[in-house]
Amino acid sequence: MTSVLPQEVAAPSRLTFPPGFRWGAATASYQIEGAAAEDGRTPSIWDTMSRQPGRVFRNHSGDVACDHYHRYRDDVRLMSELGLGTYRFSVAWPRIKPDGSGPVNPRGLDFYDRLVDELLAAGIAPMVTLYHWDLPQVLEDQGGWTARDTAYYLGDLAAATIARLGDRVATWTTLNEPWCSAFLGYASGDHAPGRREPQAAYLAAHHLLLGHGLAAQALRAGGAREVSITHVLTRVSPQNPHDAHDRDAARLVDGLQNRIWLDPVLRGQYPADVLPLFERFGALDAIRDGDLDVIATPIDLLGVNYYQPALVRAKVGAVGQASYPGSEGVDFPPQGLPVTGMDWPIDATGLSDVLVRLSRDYPGTPLMVTENGSAYHDLLEGDRVADPERIAYFAGHLRAVHHAVERGADVRGYLAWSLMDNFEWAYGYGKRFGLVYVDYDTQRRVLKDSARWYAQVIRDNGL
């Protein structure tokens, strides 16, 4: 096993994480389950998107995915082999409420019931995310996240799900990465529902946050022990820190990537520099009296997904980036860093800085890294997948988490993205993030070298 360790990973000093540190891995329903039309499930916005030619790499879809719906027992066995203490997964809204807002479909909940029992029998703590992007298409047909009602329906989904699983699931997450749902889904159109309307994006942003608050209240009422939300956060640096325009550009992007999601939940208000964007795009009226009190319902844990740092500069005439609606005049120069198979720049110091910043700017909320990982061009050779770059990525980022803890960040755990290769949204099956390799022709699973390496990290509670 240690033979696969690249030289740079074999760091001179040993790092040990705090006692009780939670180790695990994450997935999401649409990315792994398959069984798209089984037991009463209706189409989600990703089923629709993947049927529109050219939207998803090679027109791939989640129809079969990793067939986890049928193979979950084997998959839990793999988790046991890895020694995971926590498994973060999401529930499919269109399984549990096939018409989005109406009656509960017990067969949909049955699947998660079986999965939770299997996990508990293996000594693995389930961590349930209510919404990881698979909105029922029927709700999109009624406006999706631009409609205020969708927020209330998420609250209902929370109530129905905790009523069934709450006796066995302690840790709950309302939303995964509302930045993606709002800004990739409704502004850049890269994600389902694929709309390109900045006003819709800001309406969606607010309704997602309101939905979070309503779901958090329903989870509390249902007896949840830990309530959380997960954001994709990053460090946004100005290219020239001495240039006031570059600093303004960084502040704007930081507002849209980080603070628009953090401030309402943890401070009960939108950042003063972000509110004018709601106004400019005609979404200010969506924020009604009392909404922010709901959104600021106390949480117990903040989930942090981190993949890459951001670098920006001011540039007259720059069109900005559609995924940051309102970012005209902001340019995103090349960072000059090594990149992953997604072309995402690698810099683990960004993770450390994000965690330290959160504990400084939003004190009192424990943190958990709920996703972190990398895609590479993995090759299955016989029974082995050698993925030294992924090991190096994980090792670097785990050192960064440890460094953040030393700098005072209150980090309680780390979940790798992902347990296994899966449907990577618009990239289809073309990008592999897994610790476990999936041969999609046969559904055979093979532990990558990184999986064996990660199992050792977990056993040692360090590296």
Of residues 250-289, which lie at the interface with ligand FCB (CB under 6 A)?
none
Residue choice 29, 137, 171, 176 for contact with ligand FCB (CB under 6 A)? 176
In angstroms, give the least distance from the CB of 47 to ligand FCB.
Answer: 16
Say whether residue 28 binds ligand FCB (CB under 6 A).
Answer: yes
Q: Which of 118, 140, 177, 389 is catalytic?
A: 177
Residue 305 annotated in ligand binding: no
CA distance 91 to 170: 15
Of residues 201-230, which lie at the interface with ligand FCB (CB under 6 A)?
none
Asked if residues 255 and 274 have their Cβ atoms less than 8 Å apart, the reply is: yes
Residue 307 annotated in ligand binding: yes
Q: Give the nearer residue to ligand FCB in terms of CB position, either 294 or 398.
A: 398
In angstroms, give the least distance from the CB of 285 to ligand FCB.
Answer: 30
Q: Give the nearer residue to ligand FCB in terms of CB position, either 75 or 424.
A: 424
Q: Give the nearer residue to ligand FCB in terms of CB position, either 254 or 421.
A: 421
Asked if residues 358 and 302 have their Cβ atoms less than 8 Å apart, the reply is: yes
144 vs 21, 58, 69, 336, CA distance in Å?
Answer: 38, 26, 26, 39
Q: Which stretch binds ligand FCB (CB under 6 A): 35-43, 173-181, 202-210, 280-288?
A: 173-181
Q: Which stretch binds ligand FCB (CB under 6 A): 5-13, 142-150, 174-182, 313-321?
A: 174-182
In angstroms, give the least distance from the CB of 342 to ligand FCB.
Answer: 8
Of residues 81-140, which lie at the interface with ligand FCB (CB under 6 A)?
none
In angstroms, give the least distance from the CB of 126 to ligand FCB.
Answer: 18
Q: Which string of DSSP letters, residue by residue, matches 323-391? A: TSTT-TTEE-------B-TT-PBP-THHHHHHHHHHHHHSTT--EEEEE---------BTTB---HHHH
- Token duo for residue 429: 């099956």
Work out the burial of residue 462: count CB atoms within 10 Å of its CB; fewer than 13 is exposed, 13-18 middle, 19 or more buried.
Answer: middle
Q: Where are the alpha helices (DSSP H) in 83-130?
A: 93-96, 106-121
> What is the DSSP pairing of strand 411-417 with strand 22-26?
parallel
Say whether residue 425 binds ligand FCB (CB under 6 A).
Answer: yes
43 vs 30, 137, 320, 419, CA distance in Å?
Answer: 11, 6, 33, 25
In angstroms, give the least distance from the CB of 184 to ligand FCB.
Answer: 9
Q: Give the nearer residue to ligand FCB in terms of CB position, either 342 or 380.
A: 342
In angstroms, give the least distance from the CB of 374 to ligand FCB.
Answer: 9
Q: Give the nearer residue to ligand FCB in terms of CB position, either 29 or 48.
A: 29
Single-letter amino acid, residue 188: S
Asked if residues 303 and 228 have their Cβ atoms less than 8 Å apart, the reply is: yes
Residue choice 202, 270, 324, 433 for contact with ligand FCB (CB under 6 A)? 433
Which contiguous run of DSSP H or E holds residue 81? helix 68-82
CA distance 40 to 226: 30
Binding mask 368-397 for ligand FCB (x = CB under 6 A): ---x--------------------------
Contacts of 373 (CB under 8 A, 6+ apart): 307, 390, 393, 394, 416, 417, 418, 433
Say whether residue 424 binds ligand FCB (CB under 6 A).
Answer: yes
CA distance 157 to 104: 9
Residue 33 annotated in ligand binding: no
Kindly state the DSSP code that residue 57 receives in the 8-state scheme. G
Residue choice 169, 180, 250, 416 for contact with ligand FCB (CB under 6 A)? 180
Q: Give the nearer residue to ligand FCB in terms of CB position, either 105 or 374.
A: 374
Q: Give the nearer residue to ligand FCB in terms of CB position, either 105 or 323.
A: 323
Known active-site residue 177:
yes
Asked if residues 24 and 413 have their Cβ atoms less than 8 Å apart, the reply is: yes
CA distance 78 to 251: 43
CA distance 306 to 310: 11
Asked if residues 270 and 309 have their Cβ atoms less than 8 Å apart, the reply is: no
Say whether residue 177 binds ligand FCB (CB under 6 A).
Answer: yes
Contacts of 429 (CB under 8 A, 6+ apart): 57, 60, 421, 422, 423, 440
Q: Give the nearer residue to ligand FCB in terms of CB position, either 331 or 421.
A: 421
Of residues 36-55, which lie at the interface with ligand FCB (CB under 6 A)?
none
In angstroms, give the least distance from the CB of 438 to ligand FCB.
Answer: 15
Say whether residue 421 binds ligand FCB (CB under 6 A).
Answer: no
Residue 217 annotated in ligand binding: no
Q: Which of 371, 381, 389, 406 is catalytic?
A: 371
Binding positions for substrate are 31, 132, 176, 307, 417, 424-425
Binding residues (CB under 6 A) for ligand FCB: these are: 28, 31, 176-177, 180, 232, 305, 371, 417, 424-425, 433
Binding positions are 31, 132, 176, 307, 417, 424-425
The catalytic residue positions are 177, 371
